[in-house]
Every structure is written in C-alpha cells, then in structure tokens.
C-alpha cells in the first residue's frame, strides 16, 4: 500500500533538456509521457502538483547574447520555448486523464490562460495540475527562479528539482567516480559553496520563504512518488 505523502503541495521543476531524451533538440514525446506518468502517480497519492518546465531544449537567451544578439529578445524567445514545452507536457498529462491547466506569465489568451496567483492557487486547491509557462515573464531570469517564485506564491511545501543525477554531489559524478552524494544540506551551504543545483536567485528565494529543495533524478521512473512517500534517493536542502 502506498505510504502517506510527506508533502501536500509541491512544485516540480524540470529542465527543457529533460524533455529532449536522446535527441539533440526538441521534445521526445515518450519522455514527456514518462514525466507525466510520474506526475499522475503523485496526483494519485493526493499530492497537489505545480510544474515549471524550462526551455533549454529549444532556446536559450544567453546563447543569442553571446553571439552579439539582443539578450532581451533572446530571453523572450526562451520564455516562448517554455510555453511550447508546457503545452507538450499538458498534452501528455491530459492523455493520461490528469486534469491539467497551463497558466502563462505572458498573456496569450488564444493558447492558454494567463497566470495569476489567485487562479493558480484555486486550481491547485481543486486538484488540477498547474503548469506555469513563460518563466517569470521577465528577461534576465531563469525557469529555476520562476519555479522558486511560483512555489512561494502557491505556498508549496517543497520545491522538487528534477536533474540528470540523483542529488547534489561534491563534484560532477559523471566525471569524478569518487564524488560524494549529500543527503542533506542547508540553503546557506548550497549558496556559500556555490553548488550548481539551481541558480543563486532561486536558492535565495527558497531560503527566504523556508521552502525545502529536493534534488532528485528526473530519469528515475517512479522516483518522484517514492520521495513524496519518504523513500527514494535525493538530496534535501533545508535550513
Ligand atoms: N527565460 C527568461 N526569463 C524567465 C525564464 C526563462 O528570460 O523568467 C529565458 C532565458 O532566455 C532562458 C530560457 O528562457 O535561457 C530558457 O529557460 P532556462 O534556461 O531556465 O531553461 P532550462 O535550462 O531549465 O531548460
């Protein structure tokens, strides 16, 4: 029997690359379906789930700026990329019968509803999965920061960061075989040691709002539900 979840409401952040699978670009629908299945499992435990998905599989604003382009326009393109990914994930969730809504930080009423804190909270109270598209709606930010911001706005009990590996390591475990995985860290330790888990703005925002960050592998099937039940491998960042 499934254990009772340790969090009631969570915000899941997945990078755009997570949707890419083994392709070099874009969306692998089978990967979107797998991530959606993990979210569906969390819903079946009664956990309220908000999602922020990045856009790096399609576009990064900094890439434009580094080639002498206009950073703000590049960031606008990056935020639009997150809308594409959000629609893909909604499609996968709806296919599985999960009631899902996309709320965008940038108004595009023909495509999805616009974000408001009240609407988002209301939908989550009703048990709908809410996908927050368009990042923060502002250039010079990232979807990590958007995830921490939305987590604070909807009163999430934890911010889940789905990554390529199963937690925060002392060094890149793909390069250093002897890298140590941390079980627990404080927000301050992550900031002071410059551990590359989420950007500084996101970690600082989570810290100020007492939101634990759970770093786990997005590729571990069922891993999300396991951690929600107090099992599974992850690093917990909390003060
Ligand atoms: N972006 C932005 N403001 C935001 C969120 C994202 O300008 O609030 C842009 C930025 O250009 C970024 C791109 O969208 O490079 C994709 O987001 P991110 O790099 O966070 O995606 P991920 O790495 O998670 O796939």
Q: What is the pLDDT of residues 39-52, one digit of tens each?
A: 999 999 999 999 99
pLDDT given for residue 165 in this prediction:
92
Ligand 1 in contact with 16 (CB < 6 A)? yes
CA distances from 139 to 18, 84, 202, 205 (A): 22, 17, 15, 17
Instruction: Say yes or no: CB of residue 209 within 6 Å of ligand 1.
Output: no
Q: For the residues 100-129, what does the mean pLDDT come to?
A: 98
User: Residues at the annotated binding site for UMP?
Assistant: 55, 75, 136-143
Strand positions, DSSP E, 145-196: 158-163, 184-185
Q: Is the CB of 223 under 6 A from ligand 1?
A: no
Q: What is the CATH number of the domain that holds 155?
A: 3.40.1160.10
**Taking a C-beta distance cutoff of 8 angstroms, is the pair 129, 156 a contact?**
no
Q: What is the pLDDT of residue 46?
A: 97
Q: Is the ipTM of this complex over 0.95?
A: yes
Q: Which domain does 134 fall in, by range?
A: 9-237
What per-residue confidence (pLDDT) applies to 24? 86
Mean per-residue pLDDT of the chain: 95
Distance 75 CA to ligand 1 centre (A): 7
State CA 192 to chain mean position distance: 23
pLDDT value for 66: 82
* C-beta separation of 55 from 78 below 8 A: yes
From the alpha carbon of 64, which atom of ligand 1 is closest?
11
pLDDT tens-digit profile of 122-154?
999 999 999 999 999 999 999 999 999 999 999
User: Do residues 151 and 161 lie in contact, with contact meaning Cβ atoms separated by under 8 Å?
Assistant: no
Mutation pick for ligand 1 pocket among 15, 17, 18, 75 (CB with most ligand atoms within 8 Å): 75
| Global confidence as pTM | 0.96
Is 3 inside any structural domain? no
Q: Which of 228, 54, 220, 67 is nearest to 141 (CA)?
A: 54
Structural contact between residues 117 and 148, judged by C-beta atoms closer than 8 angstroms: no
Residue 2 lies in a domain: no
Residue 228 has pLDDT above 80, yes or no: yes
In the prediction, which pLDDT does 2 show?
65
* Residue 201 DSSP SS3: helix
**50 assigned to some structural domain:** yes
Which ligand 1 atom sits nearest the alpha carbon of residue 143?
20
Residue 4 lies in a domain: no
Q: Which atom of ligand 1 is nearest to the CA of 145?
A: 8
**Cα–Cα dist 60/81, whole Å:** 9
User: Is 223 within the bounds of a domain?
Assistant: yes
Task: Answer whether residue 1 shows pLDDT above 70.
Answer: no
Parallel, antiparallel, or unpaired for β 213-217 and 235-237?
antiparallel
Ligand 1 atom nearest to CA at 56 = 25
Helices marked H in 1-110 — which ranges? 16-20, 29-44, 61-66, 71-95
What is the distance between the alpha carbons of residues 166 and 162, in angstroms, rounded to a whole number? 8
Q: Tell me the CB-side half-sphere exposure of residue 132, using CA atoms within 13 A.
A: 33
Residue 140 CA: nearest ligand 1 atom is 7
Is 216 inside any structural domain?
A: yes
Does residue 1 lie in a domain region?
no
| Assigned domain for 209 exists | yes
Q: How confident is the model at residue 174 (pLDDT cuts 50, 70, 90)?
A: confident
Q: Tokens 């999805």 sit at which residue?
A: 112
For the chain, how many structural domains are there in total? 1
Per residue in 192-207, pLDDT (tens digit) is: 999 988 999 999 999 9
Mean pLDDT over 93-118 rounds to 98
Q: How many CB atoms lie under 10 A from the CB of residue 161?
A: 28
Predicted pLDDT of residue 62:
80
Token digits of residue 99:
């009631």
* Candidate from 54, 77, 84 with most ligand 1 atoms within 8 A of CB, to mutate: 54
Percent of the chain clearing pLDDT 70 (strictly above): 99
Residue burial 117-141, b: 16+ Cβ < 10 Å; e: rest: eeebbebbeeebbbbbbbbbbebeb
Percent of the chain past pLDDT 90, that is, above it, reads: 87
Which residues, including other chains, have CB under 8 Å from residue 198's CB and lie 6 or more apart?
13, 144, 147, 148, 161, 206, 213
Binding site residues for ATP, as ranges? 13-16, 56, 60, 163-164, 169, 172
């Amino acid at each position: 029997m499934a254990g009772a979840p340790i969090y009631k409401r969570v915000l899941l952040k997945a990078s755009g690359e997570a949707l890419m699978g083994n392709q070099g670009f874009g969306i692998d629908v089978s990967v979107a379906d797998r991530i959606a299945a993990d979210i569906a499992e969390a819903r079946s435990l009664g956990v309220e789930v908000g999602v922020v998905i990045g856009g790096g599989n399609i576009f990064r604003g900094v890439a434009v700026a580094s080639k002498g382009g206009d950073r703000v326009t590049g960031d606008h393109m990056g935020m639009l990329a997150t809308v594409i990914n959000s629609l893909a994930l909604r499609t996968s969730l709806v296919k599985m019968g999960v009631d899902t809504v996309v709320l965008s930080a940038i108004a595009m009423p023909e495509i999805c509803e616009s974000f408001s804190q009240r609407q988002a909270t209301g939908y989550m109270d009703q048990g709908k999965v809410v996908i927050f598209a368009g990042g923060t709606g502002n250039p010079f930010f990232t979807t990590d920061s958007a995830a921490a911001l939305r987590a604070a706005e909807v009163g999430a009990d934890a911010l889940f960061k789905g990554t390529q590996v199963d937690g925060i390591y002392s060094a890149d475990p793909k390069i250093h075989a002897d890298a140590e995985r941390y079980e627990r860290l404080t927000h301050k330790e992550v900031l002071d040691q410059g551990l590359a888990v989420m950007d500084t703005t996101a970690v600082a925002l989570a810290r100020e709002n007492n939101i634990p960050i759970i770093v786990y592998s997005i590729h571990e099937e069922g891993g999300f539900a396991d951690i929600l039940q107090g099992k599974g491998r992850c690093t917990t960042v909390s003060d």
